Amino acid sequence: VEADSKPRGHLIVVEGLDRSGKTTQCEMLCEDIQGREKKVKYIKFPDRTTATGQMINSYLQGKAEQNDQAIHLLFSANRWEAVQGMLDELQSGTTIVIDRYSFSGAVYSAAKENQNLSLEWAWNPEIGLPQPDLVLFLDISSEDAVKRGGYGEERYEKEEMQIKVRTLFKHLFSKLDHLNVRNIDAGQPLQSVADQIWQVYLKLEESGPAYGNPPSFS
Ligand code: NYM
């Protein structure tokens, strides 16, 4: 907009089930963006290094119990405490690639067996967080996810839960239809998934630079 202001970096979110290859794809995308002489930063939620992140880590590893609402709000707080840092990075022209964000936040809580939290309730604390310019949803069938060497030991890494998570992701994205969400077929070999992602990224770059802070979730 303002001719003399500097463009900000893009905010890109990568979402998907456990075992969908998110982290590997984030790393490959960051390397490719860097290869274009652009500044890029990788962020992962939950950020297990902060005080809230340590509580989340204990919960995920089964070392601590938490009430469903309380742990949900801790996951959200773990994002809120990172907002200023993210906005500063974007303003300095750095593109941010985020490994899981508000979408995982809402969907995993709403997928819990006891059905304690509705998707709508779970989305509420995310309102006001910066909205990504692009969401890459790494879509993989739950059966394929299981075949990829089985799940880890953490809470939520169970087949029944993953099936619900996948359905809820799709439902949430259909409700947030103003967002730029791209479905990526993550059942393909690594390099082919990376190629799909790269094509989508190039389109974002072609759409031109962004200015000011990104809009917030409403
Ligand atoms: N998870 C992740 C949530 O339940 N809520 C959230 O807000 C986020 C960001 O934590 N099974 C769940 C999804 C994962 C687990 O993620 C840890 P990762 O990417 O395996 O570290």
pLDDT in tens, the chain (218 residues): 555 689 999 999 999 999 899 999 999 999 999 999 999 999 999 999 999 999 999 999 999 999 999 999 999 999 999 999 999 999 999 999 999 999 999 999 999 988 889 999 999 999 999 999 999 999 998 778 777 766 788 999 888 899 999 999 999 999 999 999 999 999 999 999 999 999 999 999 999 999 999 999 99
pLDDT in the model for residue 143: 75
- In this structure, the residues whose C-beta lies within 6 A of any atom of ligand 1 are 18, 45-46, 60, 75, 100, 104-105, 108, 156
Question: Considering only CA atoms, which residue is closest to atom 6 of ligand 1?
Answer: 105
ipTM above 0.90, yes or no: yes
Q: Quick one: pLDDT at residue 76?
A: 99
Residue/partner pairs of 173-178 with CB below 8 Å, 24 or more apart? 173/103, 173/135, 173/137
What is the C-alpha separation between 30 and 9, in angstroms, rounded?
13
CA of 206 to the centre of ligand 1 (A): 32
Probe target for ligand 1 pocket from 17, 24, 108, with the most ligand atoms within 8 Å of CB: 108
Q: 57 vs 102, 113, 180, 194, CA distance in Å?
A: 17, 20, 30, 29
Angle, vertex CA 34, rays to CA 32 and CA 35, nearest 5: 60
Distance of CA 138 to the CA centre of its chain: 10
Closest ligand 1 atom to residue 152 Cα is 20
Phi, psi of 17 (to 5 degrees): -70, 165
- ω into residue 209 within 30 of 0, thus cis? no
In the reported structure, the alpha carbon of residue 82 is separated from the centroid of ligand 1 by a whole-number distance in angstroms of: 16
pLDDT of residue 1: 53
Please report the atom of ligand 1 found closest to the CA of residue 101: 9
